[in-house]
Amino acid sequence: MNLANPPKPKKVSIVVSDLSVRGAGRWGGAVRPFLLARVLQKLDYEVEIVGFLFGEKPPFEPNLGIPIVYIPGANYPRFVNGARQLLDRLDGDIIYAYKPKPSSFGLGILKKFLTKRPLLLDIDDWELSWHGGDRWQYRPPDLKQFGRDLLKPNGSLRNPDYALYLKWMERWVSRADRVTTHTTFLQQRFGGCYLPNGKDVHLFDPSLYDREAARSRYGLSDYRVLMFPGAPRAYKGVEDVLEALDLLQDPDYRLAIVGGSPYDDYDERLKSRWGHWIVQLPTVEPQQMPAVIAAADVIVVPQRDTPAAKAQFPLKLTDGMAMAKPVLATRVGDIPEILGDTGYLVDPHAPQQLARAIETIFEDFGAAANRAGRSRERCVKFYSFEAMSNILLNLFSELERLL
């Protein structure tokens, strides 16, 4: 080997269906495709993220040293032109499609067919769960409705990722050379390799942050702070925590919601009923999130028992675990396995149980802090970037043999 000219690192193109603020562009790069990219960079791969931008730019560009290529997104028939641009731009030795959607995995399959490059598929949600799951079928009541769906500019069938096409794409999952999933639910449904979400435990290190300064910065110094560092949606159970606070009726408590929902006005609806309990914190870049988490007393992850929740690996869990915060969560999906015996678990949709658990935590906060310390140790061992790296190293070594 000529050491003066070491081999060029293999390039991985991660294909994302939507890089807008409503898609993978939310949270400025804290979601799954950016985690994959950062871990692959640590494994000395050259990485780019290529995806569609439907109508708007993310609120800020992630400052993570990852090249991001935006292709204008649109409904059919204009989507075809964007698809051509994306295919031309995909020049990775390995293609890694994010989500089994036509606008990511579908184009990945086409690129594999045209170039014989290895194709991975990462599945971090059950996309059909948002439409009713396996029971959903496309059944227009008459030909007139079918015509509207097909011909109107915003007709359902003009959407490149409409539920009908998602259902078709699920049948093509086996066309990927490898599949990665991050929950047991998804692995049982689609097969493949279990690849949990990892946390940068060197960035999320509680010793680096001043708790009191963080609380003062956000006006939380006088409160017992429960924190939900994510986008509230009905299935995420934030209402159950607020109902628990109604039961406790202790003015020292506050629920801090970080960022809020990019999808709809759900935040405003929560504040219209429970505004006296809620403190809304601004959206921050991923590198700033640990300094926000530092202000919390407890991280709450109150998922409800729905197919969408079972399919997810809540990043809020490892936010709290890595920062050695007590985590109060529900027995839904993989949450009990992720936390082990290091968190506090209650049944889903059970405000009374949440209220009792909140009281338990604050009655002996020293014991809760000890448990939270073990939670960080568990995160470092099983849910860190290093843990992800070990899995991806083996997976990509297999794929390189296909090149």
Task: Label residue 284 by pLDDT band (50, 70, 90).
Answer: confident
| Confidence (pLDDT) at 401 | 84
pLDDT for 399 equals 87
Rg (CA), the chain: 22
- Other Cβ atoms closer than 10 A to 139: 7
**Edge-first strand listing for the sheet containing 178-181:** 68-72, 46-53, 11-16, 94-98, 119-123, 178-181, 193-194
Locate all alpha helices (DSSP H) within 218-302, ordered by sequence. Answer: 238-248, 266-274, 289-293
How many degrees, rounded to 5, is the angle at CA 266 between CA 164 and CA 331?
75
Per-residue pLDDT at 149: 94
pLDDT band at 266 (very low <50, low <70, confident <90, very high): confident
Q: How confident is the model at residue 290 (pLDDT cuts 50, 70, 90)?
A: very high
How does residue 320 score in pLDDT terms, banded at 50, 70 and 90? very high
- Which of 58-67, 74-83, 227-236 has maximum average pLDDT? 74-83
Signed CA dihedral, 303, 358, 337, 368: sign only: positive
Residue of higher predicted confidence among 56 and 121: 121
Higher pLDDT, 224 or 56: 224
Which tens digit of pLDDT belongs to each residue from 334-354? 999 999 999 999 999 999 999
**Residue 260: pLDDT above 90?**
no
pLDDT at 2: 47
Percentage of the chain beyond pLDDT 90 is 81
Which residue stretches of 249-333 are H helix? 266-274, 289-293, 307-310, 315-322
pLDDT at 56: 66
For the entire predicted model, the pTM comes to 0.90
The pLDDT, as a whole number, for residue 264 is 76
Predicted local confidence at residue 390, as pLDDT: 93
Q: How confident is the model at residue 26 (pLDDT cuts 50, 70, 90)?
A: low
Question: Domains in the chain, please, with CATH?
Answer: 11-197+385-400 (3.40.50.2000), 206-382 (3.40.50.2000)
Q: What are the tens digits of pLDDT across the range 127-174? A: 999 898 999 999 999 999 999 999 999 999 999 999 999 999 999 999
For the segment 205-230, the average pLDDT, to the nearest whole number, is 96
Distance separating alpha carbons of residues 115 and 308, to the nearest angstrom: 35
